[in-house]
Chains A and B, each alone.
Chain A
Amino acid sequence: MTHPTDRVRRHGRRSRPARAGARTPAGGPPPRGLTALRLLLVVLFTAGLAALAPGAAHAAEDAAEQVSGTLRTSVSGPISGVEVVVTTPDGDEVGTDETDDNGRFAVELPGPGQYTVTVPEDSLPEGVEFNSGNSRTVTVDPGRNQGVIIGLDDGSRNSGGGNVRWVQLLVDGFRFGLLIAMAAVGLSLIFGTTGLTNFAHGELVTIGAIVAYFINVDGGVPLIPAALLAMVIGAGIGALNERLLWRPLRRRGTGLVAALVISIGLSLLLRYGYQIIFGGSSEAYADYRGQRAVDYGPFTLTDKDLYSIFVALVVLLLVALMLQRTKIGKAMRAVADNRDLAASSGIDVNRVILVVWMMGGALAALGGVLLGLSDEVQWDMGFRLLLLMFAGVTLGGLGTAYGALVGSIVVGVFVQMSTLVVPNDIKYVGGLLLLIVILMVRPQGILGSRVRVG
């Protein structure tokens, strides 16, 4: 969930042994086809059914050590064709590698120990400079692929280059707020129609991003159709949520607090399931990688971020139109406002709730894809967004659709703008503090009514 200006120092932020190719025999995600089988296996074991066959001897895999990293900045994109030299502390050369089209390099090492990674002074493109020196010394543990971070500066962090920092942050925050809003509309409507505080809503965001990743990267489908497919699947998962879990529970008369704890259980189950399937690393989509930011005067924006803003605006406008003009939209608002009254005026409440879940699932999935596009896909991206969604929804008024829109955008802008004052790595703390302050001052939110607070 880092925004574009963070990426200046991003290369090798997480070492990704899996993607470095065949150089690492150990680690890396297993073939995706086995995923379902893996899950099945997990379930079998936890059910205590695992048969205890005698252990077959398993040759210890000899792990090779290597150093790897990425040279990239948000303005220049990945920097390819730069020679990276690895030496021992005594100055003996161990190996060199040229960065590929994605700016990545990896050098195999003879064994664990201390190594120095150097990028020649004059090899960087114009406008890109080293943050602090052109070499790094790292200690490599046995069998490890050690990520190396060489800080690069492309000028976009400073106010040089015609950028006005607060305008840049405002635009970034607006984009981020739209993403939060897209995911949060469903959360708020589900709360409004069923009373459920769905802590598993972040997982709907993640599943959208992950599904699109598999379709896009493993399936070779371009990202836009992949995103549409992910939305369809997201809607399907929303429907499954309602039909398989929440509707039966409502019928049983399960209380709201019990339902809330169940949603937390579901969130844990799904989230760590994703981590087993997807792995702990963060991955980018195959399309639209390494775009250069275009200069718009007071701010810069990559094309994909610009289109993300357009897509989000159009989709949210459509949602608003639907809520305002169509029959089902009016029914949603009616159920959210007063369920019993809606039911007694002939609205099929269960059908409305199902549509709300499907819509929420699809929107969350799209939000996940856009978030994955700007920040890379990660197994817990939705969960980290969840708290900001709650902040946005609470700010706007729990249970109202438009409140979620307004509140989320305010939260997004607030979080990004707060980096004017606080360091970047605690900007979310500011968002969470805002949430607590809102609860203190105006718990019903901007657009909420007093009645809901109870």
Chain B
Amino acid sequence: MGEIIDALAIALKAGIGFQAVFLALLAIGINMQFGYTGLLNFGQIAFALLGGYGIAISVSQWGLNFWVGVLIGLLAAVVLALLLGLPTLRLRADYLAIATIAAAEGLRLLFRSVSATPVTNGSRGISGFNSGFVELAPWDTGRRYRLLGTFWSGADLWVTAVGWTLVALASLLVWALVRSPWGRVVRSIREDEDAVRALGKNVYVYKMQALVLGGVFGALGGMIYAVGTGSTTPDQYQNANTFLAYAALILGGAARVLGPVIGAMLMYFIIQFADSGLRSLTENGVIPDGLLTTTDVAQIRFVIIGLGLILLLVFRPQGIFGDRREVMLDAR
């Protein structure tokens, strides 16, 4: 039983840790794009990559101030959104999907390539850029703190606290936006683009605004992740994370302000519980080595996500809190 309680505690920590913040911010961005506007951004992780590397490169490679790095990361995300949106937002939804997924994979390959090594340090990544942020913490970051049965380092706690504050602010912003006239236009674009166009609205511009806003949330998520882990490597930003965020969003309920947040926490909790549970079972020999080795366990999470995505969309596309009428299911 001890292992199960341990696994629960680890999972609980993961569910409120900075990884969950990362996922929540990605999902909030996707909620803006997919949930409210109906845009299929399948490369959200590319925005996170730019956010994380924006800080890492500025601080470690160029010797700039941490906050300048944050600014550069956000600017890079805006530029990427514009670049992706310009050619595709006039076309049908799946063109944006293909372009974004291609951009995410392409950026990752570019950042880990040999020719980019002078700037990005290749596949080994960059570290040692978060001290400017960690030393702002109001408590001693060298100590370890006990919280809900698990130990947190002071730095982790600080990153997590800032992260959840960001999530709260982002949710507040989304809440205010979707209640505004802007939000009503964006939601009607999701429902019927042509009708909105007939009312004289510039659909293209509204879509672009939603894409940029969602991308900025994604970049913030990538920053929290980079600052939390203290390093960035291109392979942290595998595109499977985008789909993890989609799964979290759909689990929580798309087109709901708190849907992505609850979804992300639950998602991380489930994954981490399955992960550490399976790991301890294989280590103890309950599951023999021939069936499942500890290295396999790392892959299981993606199998769970895939299965979860299919089951959710088939049986409950509105997720836990969603409203079936609000979830975009038709293509345009």
Bound together, the chains give a CA A264 to CA B110 distance in angstroms of 24
Contacts of B285 in A (CB 8 A): 55-58
Q: Which of the residues A38, A195, A267, A425 comes within 8 Å of B331, measured between beta carbons?
A: A195
**A254 touching B314 in the complex, CB below 8 Å, given contacts A30-B291, A42-B300, A272-B306:** yes
Contact string, B14-57, partner A, CB cutoff 8 A, digits 1/0? 00000000000000000000000010101000000000000000
**B303, A269: Cβ atoms closer than 8 Å:** yes
Contacts of A273 in B (CB 8 A): 303
In chain B, what residue has the closest Cβ to A38?
B291
- A394 in contact (CB, < 8 A): yes
In chain B, what residue has the closest Cβ to A35?
B291
**B313, A265: Cβ atoms closer than 8 Å:** yes
In chain B, what residue has the closest Cβ to A58?
B285
- A276 in contact (CB, < 8 A): yes
For A268, A273, A280, A428, the residue with the greatest tally of chain B CB atoms inside 10 Å of its CB is: A268
Contacts of A436 in B (CB 8 A): 83-84, 87, 99, 102-103
Q: Which of the residues A31, A56, A268, A423 comes within 8 Å of B113, measured between beta carbons?
A: A423
8 A Cβ contacts from A31-75 to B: 31, 34, 37-38, 41-42, 45-46, 50, 52-58
In chain B, what residue has the closest Cβ to A428?
B109
Contacts of A439 in B (CB 8 A): 87-88, 91, 95, 98-99
**A268, B305: Cβ atoms closer than 8 Å:** yes
Bound together, the chains give a CA A388 to CA B1 distance in angstroms of 49
Contacts of A34 in B (CB 8 A): 290-291
Contact string, B311-331, partner A, CB cutoff 8 A, digits 1/0? 001100100000000001111
- A22 in contact (CB, < 8 A): no
Bound together, the chains give a CA A387 to CA B101 distance in angstroms of 8
**B105, A432: Cβ atoms closer than 8 Å:** yes
Contacts of B328 in A (CB 8 A): 255, 257
- A433 in contact (CB, < 8 A): yes
Contact string, B80-104, partner A, CB cutoff 8 A, digits 1/0? 0001101110011111011101110
**A268, B309: Cβ atoms closer than 8 Å:** yes
Q: Which of the residues A57, A280, A394 comes within 8 Å of B98, measured between beta carbons?
A: A394
In chain B, what residue has the closest Cβ to A441?
B87
Q: Is the interface of B mostly helix, strand, loop or mixed?
A: helix
In chain A, what residue has the closest Cβ to B301?
A272
**B277, A45: Cβ atoms closer than 8 Å:** yes
- B153 in contact (CB, < 8 A): no
Contact string, B271-289, partner A, CB cutoff 8 A, digits 1/0? 0001001100101111101
- B296 in contact (CB, < 8 A): yes
**B109, A429: Cβ atoms closer than 8 Å:** yes
Bound together, the chains give a CA A58 to CA B289 distance in angstroms of 10
Contacts of A254 in B (CB 8 A): 313-314, 329
Bound together, the chains give a CA A280 to CA B302 distance in angstroms of 14
**A46, B304: Cβ atoms closer than 8 Å:** yes
**B105, A276: Cβ atoms closer than 8 Å:** no
Contacts of B299 in A (CB 8 A): 272, 275-276
**B332, A50: Cβ atoms closer than 8 Å:** no
In chain A, what residue has the closest Cβ to B290?
A30
Bound together, the chains give a CA A292 to CA B247 distance in angstroms of 48
In chain A, what residue has the closest Cβ to B100?
A436
- A256 in contact (CB, < 8 A): yes
**B292, A38: Cβ atoms closer than 8 Å:** yes
Contacts of A435 in B (CB 8 A): 98-99, 102
Contacts of B42 in A (CB 8 A): 264
Contacts of A56 in B (CB 8 A): 284-286
Bound together, the chains give a CA A425 to CA B314 distance in angstroms of 39
- B114 in contact (CB, < 8 A): yes
- A152 in contact (CB, < 8 A): no
In chain B, what residue has the closest Cβ to A45?
B278
Bound together, the chains give a CA A255 to CA B332 distance in angstroms of 10
On chain A, which size bracket covers the interface?
35 or more
Bound together, the chains give a CA A341 to CA B41 distance in angstroms of 33
Bound together, the chains give a CA A256 to CA B328 distance in angstroms of 10
Contacts of A432 in B (CB 8 A): 102-103, 105-106
Q: Which of the residues A54, A199, A276, A390 comes within 8 Å of B296, measured between beta carbons?
A: A276
Contacts of A425 in B (CB 8 A): 109, 113-115
**B98, A271: Cβ atoms closer than 8 Å:** no
- B64 in contact (CB, < 8 A): no
**A55, B95: Cβ atoms closer than 8 Å:** no
- B246 in contact (CB, < 8 A): yes
Bound together, the chains give a CA A273 to CA B296 distance in angstroms of 10
Contact string, A399-430, partner B, CB cutoff 8 A, digits 1/0? 00000000000000000000000110110110
Q: Which of the residues A41, A249, A391, A422 comes within 8 Å of B292, measured between beta carbons?
A: A41
**A52, B243: Cβ atoms closer than 8 Å:** no
**A46, B307: Cβ atoms closer than 8 Å:** yes
In chain B, what residue has the closest Cβ to A273?
B303
Bound together, the chains give a CA A45 to CA B83 distance in angstroms of 43
Shortest distance between the CB of B33 and any CB in chain A (Å): 12
Bound together, the chains give a CA A433 to CA B306 distance in angstroms of 28
In chain B, what residue has the closest Cβ to A439?
B87
- B75 in contact (CB, < 8 A): no
Bound together, the chains give a CA A373 to CA B94 distance in angstroms of 32
Shortest distance between the CB of A251 and any CB in chain B (Å): 12
Contacts of B304 in A (CB 8 A): 46
**A266, B306: Cβ atoms closer than 8 Å:** yes
Bound together, the chains give a CA A149 to CA B212 distance in angstroms of 44
**A261 touching B281 in the complex, CB below 8 Å, given contacts A41-B287, A436-B102:** no
Contacts of A41 in B (CB 8 A): 287, 291-292
For A54, A197, A256, A436, the residue with the greatest tally of chain B CB atoms inside 10 Å of its CB is: A436
In the A-B complex, list the 10 residue pairs whose CB atoms are closest, starting with the nearest: A55-B284, A269-B306, A265-B309, A268-B306, A256-B331, A255-B329, A440-B87, A58-B285, A272-B302, A432-B106
Chain B residues near A (Cβ < 8 Å): 1, 3-4, 38, 40, 42, 83-84, 86-88, 91-95, 97-99, 101-103, 105-106, 109-110, 113-116, 240, 243, 246-247, 250, 274, 277-278, 281, 283-287, 289-293, 295-296, 299-300, 302-310, 313-314, 317, 328-332
Pairs across A and B, CB under 8 Å, 21 listed: A31-B290, A34-B291, A42-B300, A46-B300, A55-B285, A254-B329, A256-B94, A261-B246, A264-B309, A265-B308, A266-B310, A269-B307, A272-B299, A390-B98, A425-B114, A428-B106, A432-B105, A435-B99, A436-B99, A439-B88, A443-B87
* Other A-B pairs beyond A261-B309, A439-B88, 16, CB < 8 Å: A30-B289, A30-B293, A41-B287, A52-B286, A257-B331, A258-B317, A268-B243, A269-B303, A423-B115, A425-B109, A425-B113, A425-B115, A429-B109, A435-B99, A439-B91, A454-B91
